[in-house]
Structure 1
């Protein structure tokens, strides 16, 4: 088979699929009536911007964390935690910028929180702590991999995946090198001892075939034949990789038809085996972060179709909170090793998701002014029975 010809056909097919999802995302309102949205926080005077929420549900109670400060990457950014209407600040003992908290139920039954600390993305250190009371109190913070200064170990945005039957725990990570020729590389950190030690397993990336820096921030689920990774990318589409040995090795990252704007996405397996991905459907790097939608896959992320809209800026979450609706003035992203600079206008992004018995819980950034918690009925996401 002519490899170049086959690649061209694949690219045409995935571009067509991405265009279809974009068209559907602009049209679909089905299931929207069942979505419930509320602010976890908004316009808090203690900070100017907040971002990168993470979510766990403990005994039916949502626990949400995020970072907040002057803007992304400034030294005053700290990790905030909200539970039952109460808010606290995670004490790490470090007077540097904090980034990307990740909550996850651990193999030991505790609630784990991972986060990044450092002045620059390329210098991140991963910190970790645990809570045995559902996020009310936390153990002293420690480094996940002591002494590691490679730009972060463990999960970078989405939670670790526990292998069926355990004890293997797979943490989706990535590194970012900035400068004249930025380079991004995804990996999966593997732990077989309950999170005490980690071994990094790279997801191969053919950088010579890319127009941009690469892929980061994988989301993991356990598919029909093993773990699957879906990645944010600079290429206008999400990329996918699979493992046939439980996460020890991974196939080279390949493009899918799911549009990606080079912003964080999340993906979870639903009870039926269908996969739900929450993302922005723009198909260009640093593209629009509005709307925020759900796309659905019945073949472990190979193909996708459009689901409900989570937020498109037209939804009034709280009539007392004014929306900044100007889609032109003050928008745009200025990315760099020290973080993104943006006004947050018209941004609904960076989702986290958890599946319960009857709902998909989603948190996301709202105009960098707040964090929203949305509840989507699973009945609107699962295949319809005749």
Structure 2
């Protein structure tokens, strides 16, 4: 894979801007096999956001997102589409627990093949609840919704990015809390296949280093057994990082990377060894613009990110945000919000 990266990325950098302005697949770009919208025609919702993707096998995928009149409106529910590139099912409402806003769905297929969907419910982020459903037939039928931690209000379980299955079998859910505009992150760990969860301490956070709200929405990977890492959305203009040497039980104080961050969603995919991919908006301003959507590659476990391409460039007023990123059999697969009116799907051969 390393030789492939070195071959493709210098060429990507030269021509990606011309490609990313287009709504077509753009076959002249090596590596990018699919670049398309998931919806076509008039949709039964006005806005959509915060998609998550999971592999179903045989070239098929499922995507979920929240949608309705507007983020935070009571009519917002969790929607889904599945299929393969170029042939997606028409979006349908998957779950609506009650007449409150639904938020930030996260898909996760466990090693046994059960598909989980985690999502938040609540009128305000400060007090949202975590709910889940599961499917044993790749999303054709689903269980009834249940609360992950009955009575909890605030943020248990995955908040936006994928659950990580560690080398020792533990599931780690990247979690965070947002209370009165004071943010911090933690992980929820399950050693019994998601039946019960144990919350870590929140991260040690220097509020002089991380000014503003704080850190949320971790993206996790394990570089070798027990060595677990997270990148974090922050309010200080750069992506944050924390590391664990004990399977995620304890974490280092948060430190800042050189990667710019606009206080918007990021995601990481571990491609094996020390190779990582990162999808993000490279804008170093708190609450900055949510474009372009950029892909960066590291070959030293995230210490440096020398390879970068803009998947979609955009212009003033655009929003390409909240990427969900996976590595699958020599490909990077991602989806992201496209101007709150569609979900973009991209598949890249590595």
The more displaced of 218-227 and 116-125 is 218-227
Of 21, 35, 55, the residue aligned with 2:53 is 55
Report the equivalent of 1:289: 290
Secondary structure at the aligned position of 1:355 is classed as strand
Give CA deviations for 1:69-111 in whole Å, capped at 9, x if unaligned. 1111111111001012323212343111000000011244201
Shift of 1:282: 0.5
Query: Given the superposition, is the C-alpha separation of residues 311 and 245 from structure 1 closer, same or farther in structure 2, using an over 3 Å criterion?
Result: same
Q: Is the 8 Å Cα contact of residues 111 and 135 (structure 1) preserved in structure 2?
A: yes
Q: Is the 8 Å Cα contact of residues 80 and 94 (structure 2) preserved in structure 1?
A: yes
User: 1:176-187, aligned counterparts within 5 Å?
Assistant: 176-178=178-180, 182-187=181-186
Q: Is the 8 Å Cα contact of residues 126 and 145 (structure 1) preserved in structure 2?
A: yes
Report the equivalent of 1:331: none
User: 1:316-355, aligned counterparts within 5 Å?
Assistant: 327=316, 345-355=317-327
Cα distance in 2 between the residues matched to 1:170 and 1:43: 38
Q: What value does the CA root-mean-square deviation take over the aligned residues?
A: 1.9
Give CA deviations for 1:97-149 in whole Å, capped at 9, x if unaligned. 00000001124420111000000000110001111111122111100111111
Matched, 1:369 2:346: no
Report the equivalent of 2:312: 311
Query: Given the superposition, is the C-alpha separation of residues 145 and 108 from structure 1 closer, same or farther in structure 2, using an over 3 Å criterion?
Result: farther
Structure 1, unaligned runs of 5 or more: 1-23, 314-324, 328-344, 379-386
Secondary structure at the aligned position of 1:287 is classed as coil
Q: Is the 8 Å Cα contact of residues 227 and 247 (structure 1) preserved in structure 2?
A: yes
Report the equivalent of 2:117: 113
Secondary structure at the aligned position of 2:172 is classed as strand
Report the equivalent of 1:102: 106
The more displaced of 104-113 and 153-162 is 104-113
> What is the TM-score with the length of structure 2 in the denominator?
0.87
Kindly tell me the number of residue pairs found equivalent between the two proteins: 320
Shift of 1:191: 0.7
Shift of 1:27: 6.0
Matched, 1:252 2:253: yes
Query: Given the superposition, is the C-alpha separation of residues 251 and 79 from structure 1 closer, same or farther in structure 2, using an over 3 Å criterion?
Result: same
Q: Which structure: greater strand fraction? A: 2
Q: Is the 8 Å Cα contact of residues 118 and 130 (structure 2) preserved in structure 1?
A: yes
Report the equivalent of 2:192: 193
Shift of 1:307: 2.0
Secondary structure at the aligned position of 1:134 is classed as coil
Structure 2, unaligned runs of 5 or more: 1-9, 20-28
Cα distance in 1 between the residues matched to 2:111 and 2:207: 35
Structure with greater contact order relative to length (CA < 8 Å, sep ≥ 6): 1
Shift of 1:309: 1.6
Q: Is the 8 Å Cα contact of residues 298 and 307 (structure 2) preserved in structure 1?
A: no
Report the equivalent of 1:79: 78
